[in-house]
Every structure is written in structure tokens, then in C-alpha cells.
């Protein structure tokens, strides 16, 4: 029997029959970024490489009682991060006023211990952040200030406070007004520089040691609507026209190593927040965890997975993109996604968002074509060929994924949230049921499903889950955070 409550901290218990053993693990992981918390829970997509692969096992496959603890915050919570002190920190956007708000969470229940509200800015100002090596959440505010926010306990009471602030506004405003639409994504490189990209296509970095800011314009009229990723090879940024690999090896200035103009299609698709790729770029690979770089394009009728080899040639990065895989995904029929690919070893997983009914869109979003479409869902696994050239589809399932999947590498399980309309297999309504599902990453078979909520306030909005030590997974929703434990 299931008992569900929207009250904070209420426990839901389910008993389930044991599932079959999962298949072989994936990996390896990329090298740990020394300027983030340990790999696995430092960014929305897990690590600086945005692999969406976790070194920690998730809640499991129902071999015992599972608990779902629901914290209602009246805010959509896309990002939950955790550092070495075991204290979860969430970045949310308040429903009223859309103010980005940082929450410190109780690691045992997921309930809020403290909060810090920031000034409202663009929609993505309350989405992307990372946890640094000192357990501080790092983000840009609406004014273009790079903030580091720490947490402390005094006399049994927790508080959040801004530890440092560096303004990048003057350098960004030199290219366009209003901080060029606001900073969308940020991530540190392996030298500690904090790279960023703005909505209006200005990229660059802040040097935390000196406060110096360096910038570059990616392309005239190009927009950024997703986060960015870093690896030892460089910084990957996707605009609504092209994928870029950048570094700062030429006298310390941001430099475009290469640019690849992908097929952006004729228009924004239903179930996407912008016209172009929905992907945050993902580094992955079977040798060192970062050799390959992947996004999806926006081709019609079916979009393609694109994979590039970033292996240095003669000790230097190639100056042009080396496309080693282009394959249609989420077929048959029209396909599209707003989610980053999951990458580990030779494998990439892509979840469809085509037709997903988002309740709100960023300012200036273009109309979708068609205006609406059924949300049929589906996840595709693609593997690179052993030669490193070409790729092939391994499996495709019909899970209606309402979250960015997260790969539990130790157990070989892909976790996501399935959205189910009790009246229509391809429909969506405010009565929909949301279930955490565990998928065998080797075969695509659903091993276990746990209902975590029902109704509008349980909408997981295609947000990313975060797995932390102790078989605990945090899943953001439109109204708060679900803490799921095995």
C-alpha cells in the first residue's frame, strides 16, 4: 500500500519483490576536477564533465522498503548538490517572483534547515550552479556577480551566507546590455578559472585569485540555453547554432579551438525550451572518461546524436571537430529532447522530451512547430563501435521519462522518473502519476518502479536527480524536492 503526502518530511513506505540482478558496470569516470566537490554530486549533471553518471549506488531495485520523503518549498528545484561534509544544498526558483533561492537541507530527511533568497533574473539564474572543493555553492546572480555561498552551524542553528563576490558585469556588458541576458551556465576548469556563458552568447572566465574577467563572443545572434562542461581538453559550450570547444592556452585569453555548426532544424520542437540543441555537452569515454564529447542536434523528423573525438594529435588538440558518430535517436517518428545525454564508457543514453508540457518557458521563446504533440517518451542507448569510429543503437525503451536520467555506475542502473496518465497512455494532465524507475542500463529492461507522487505539484519537469552516498537520491519537482532512499 502507498501513502503519499505533500507535507515536508513525510515518509512513504513501499514493499516490493526483489528484482533480477543488474548487468555489468560502466565507466571509467573522468579525472576529478580539483576545484569542485568529489565527482558525483558537484553539478546538476554530476560532475564538471556533465556525464550524469554517478560513482554512488542509487536506491536499488526494491529488495526492501523504500522511503520517499517530500519537502515542499513552493519552488521548482532543478539542482541538488552535496560536498564532502554530507550536507545537501539545493538551488531552486520560487514560484512566486521567480527568485533564485538556495536551501540547505537536512541530510536525513531532505527538510530545509536554512535558505537564502537572491534577486530575480533570467529563468536559468535559478538552475545552474556547482559545489566547490570547500563545500560552497558557486553561482552567478542577476547582477553578474560570481557568488560563493557557504553554510555554518552556530549553537545548533544553520545559516547560509555569501563568502565572496566577484563582479563580471562590466566585462560582459562591454558586449551587450543587461549582462547579455544573464549568465546561464558555469563550471571551473582544471586551473581554477570559473568559465561561464550568457544567454546572448558571450563566454569567458573569472580568475578567482585576481578577480580578472576575460570574455569572448561565440557567434553573432547565437543564444545559450544550457549549461557548460569542462574537462582537461577544454570547455564545451553549445549555442542554439553550434557546439564549441574552447581553452585559454593562448596567452590566457579565451580561445575557440573549434566550432561545429549542427543541424538546428526549422523551428523549436514541442517539449523543448529553446530552438536548437537541448543538450548540455557531455564528456565521456572508455579510456580516460573524457575523450569523447557529445550533444544532440535538432534535425527533423528525427534528431541525431553527435559524438566528437577530442583526443590530442601530436600533443595538441585538433583545430577542427572530429565527428565520429552521427545516428538518429528516439525513432520512429518525430523526436527531440531538452535533456543532456548521459555518457559512460562507450555508452550514451538519450531521453525524449518531445511533447512534454512545460508549465513555463523563458522570455522570448519562439513558437514550437507543431504547436503541440503527444508526450510518448522513450530512451535510446547508443554505443560507440570498438574502433572509435561509428556507433550503433543497443536498445530503445518506451519509458516516458520526466527527468534527466542518472546512471548508477556501480550497479549498472539507469534511474529516471516515469510520468503516467491514468486515462491516456500518451496523454498528460494534472492527475498524472510520477514513479521513480530503475532500468537495467545493459538491456533497457525496467527492474523496479516506485510511485513518488501524483498531481501537478509532483511534476518533475525533466529535472536531474542527484545520487549521494548511502543509496540516497534527490529528485527536484515543480514544488520542492523528493528524497528517495533504499
- Here the cell at position 114 is 536554512
Q: Which helix (H) or strand (E) holds 407?
A: strand 406-408
- What pLDDT is stored for residue 6 in this prediction? 35
Residue 245 gets the label, from left (phi > 0), alpha (psi -120 to 50) or beta, of beta
Strand intervals (E) in 95-156: 100-105, 112-117, 130-131, 137-140, 145-154
Strand order in the sheet with 183-188: 183-188, 194-198, 202-206, 213-217
- What pLDDT is stored for residue 39 in this prediction? 81
- What pLDDT is stored for residue 363 in this prediction? 83
Contact residues for 91 (Cβ-Cβ < 8 A; gap 6+): 77, 78, 79, 81, 100, 101, 102, 126, 127, 128, 129, 137, 139
Calpha distance 255→245 (Å, rounded): 9
- Here the cell at position 368 is 514550437
- Here the cell at position 72 is 515542499
- What pLDDT is stored for residue 313 in this prediction? 66
Residue ranges and CATH numbers for the domains of the chain are 10-485 (2.130.10.10)
Q: DSSP per residue over 242-286, as a string?
A: EEEEEEEEETTEEEEEEEEE----SSBPTT-SSSS--PPPEEE-S
DSSP type of residue 309:
E
Q: Could you state, in chain order, the average pLDDT of each consecutive group of 10 residues for the chain (486 residues)?
A: 35 37 76 94 98 96 80 96 98 91 98 95 76 98 96 97 98 96 96 97 97 96 96 97 95 94 97 96 96 98 96 71 96 94 98 95 91 96 96 97 98 97 91 96 95 96 97 97 96
Handedness of CA 137, 140, 146, 149 (dihedral sign): negative
Residue with cell string 516516458: 400
Q: What is the pTM of this model?
A: 0.93
Strands 406-408, 391-397: pairing kind: unpaired
Contact criterion met (CB below 8 Å) for 103 and 90: yes
3-state secondary structure of 3: coil
- Here the cell at position 26 is 560502466
Residue with cell string 595538441: 316
- Closest among 87, 104, 110 to 7, alpha carbons compared: 110
Amino acid at each position: 500500500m502507498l501513502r503519499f503526502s505533500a507535507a515536508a518530511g513525510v515518509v512513504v513506505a513501499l514493499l516490493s519483490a526483489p528484482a533480477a540482478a543488474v548487468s555489468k558496470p560502466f565507466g571509467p569516470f573522468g579525472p576529478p576536477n580539483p576545484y569542485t566537490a568529489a565527482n558525483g554530486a558537484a553539478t546538476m549533471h554530476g560532475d564538471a564533465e556533465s556525464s550524469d553518471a554517478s560513482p554512488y549506488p542509487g536506491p536499488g531495485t526494491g529488495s526492501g522498503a523504500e522511503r520517499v520523503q517530500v519537502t515542499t518549498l513552493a519552488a521548482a528545484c532543478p539542482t541538488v548538490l552535496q560536498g564532502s561534509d554530507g550536507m545537501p544544498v539545493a538551488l531552486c526558483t520560487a514560484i512566486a517572483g521567480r527568485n533564485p533561492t538556495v536551501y540547505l537541507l537536512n541530510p536525513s530527511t531532505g527538510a530545509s534547515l536554512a535558505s537564502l533568497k537572491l534577486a530575480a533574473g533570467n529563468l536559468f539564474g535559478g538552475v545552474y550552479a556547482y559545489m566547490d572543493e570547500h563545500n560552497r555553492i558557486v553561482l552567478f546572480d542577476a547582477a553578474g556577480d560570481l557568488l560563493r555561498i557557504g553554510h555554518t552551524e552556530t549553537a545548533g542553528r544553520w545559516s547560509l551566507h555569501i563568502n565572496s563576490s566577484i563582479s563580471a558585469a562590466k566585462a560582459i556588458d562591454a558586449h551587450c546590455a543587461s549582462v547579455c541576458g544573464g549568465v546561464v551556465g558555469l563550471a571551473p576548469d582544471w586551473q581554477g578559472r570559473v568559465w561561464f556563458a550568457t544567454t546572448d552568447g558571450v563566454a569567458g572566465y573569472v580568475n578567482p585569485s585576481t578577480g580578472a574577467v576575460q570574455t569572448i563572443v561565440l557567434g553573432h545572434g547565437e543564444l545559450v540555453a544550457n549549461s557548460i562542461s569542462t574537462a582537461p581538453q577544454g570547455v564545451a559550450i553549445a549555442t542554439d547554432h553550434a557546439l564549441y570547444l574552447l581553452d585559454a592556452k593562448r596567452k590566457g585569453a579565451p580561445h575557440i579551438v573549434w566550432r561545429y555548426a549542427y543541424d538546428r532544424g526549422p523551428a523549436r520542437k514541442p517539449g523543448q525550451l529553446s530552438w536548437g540543441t537541448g543538450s548540455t555537452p557531455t564528456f565521456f569515454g572508455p579510456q580516460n572518461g573524457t575523450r569523447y564529447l557529445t550533444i544532440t542536434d535538432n534535425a527533423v523528423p528525427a534528431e541525431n546524436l553527435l559524438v566528437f573525438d577530442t583526443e590530442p594529435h601530436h600533443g595538441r588538440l585538433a583545430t577542427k571537430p572530429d565527428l565520429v558518430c552521427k545516428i538518429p535517436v528516439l525513432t520512429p517518428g518525430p523526436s527531440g529532447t531538452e535533456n543532456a545525454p548521459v555518457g559512460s564508457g562507450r555508452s550514451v543514453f538519450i531521453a525524449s522530451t518531445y511533447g512534454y508540457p512545460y508549465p513555463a518557458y523563458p522570455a522570448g521563446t519562439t513558437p514550437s512547430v507543431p504547436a503541440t504533440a503527444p508526450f510518448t517518451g522513450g530512451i535510446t542507448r547508443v554505443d560507440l563501435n570498438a574502433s572509435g569510429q561509428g556507433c550503433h543503437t543497443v536498445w530503445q525503451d518506451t519509458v516516458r521519462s520526466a527527468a534527466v536520467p542518472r546512471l548508477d555506475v556501480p550497479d549498472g542502473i539507469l534511474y529516471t522518473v516515469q510520468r503516467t496518465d491514468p486515462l491516456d497512455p500518451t496523454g498528460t494532465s494534472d492527475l498524472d502519476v510520477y514513479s521513480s524507475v530503475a532500468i537495467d542500463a545493459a538491456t533497457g529492461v525496467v527492474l523496479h518502479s516506485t510511485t513518488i507522487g501524483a498531481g501537478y505539484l509532483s511534476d518533475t519537469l525533466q529535472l536531474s536527480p542527484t545520487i549521494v552516498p548511502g543509496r540516497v537520491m534527490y529528485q527536484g519537482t515543480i514544488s520542492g524536492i523528493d528524497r528517495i532512499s533504499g
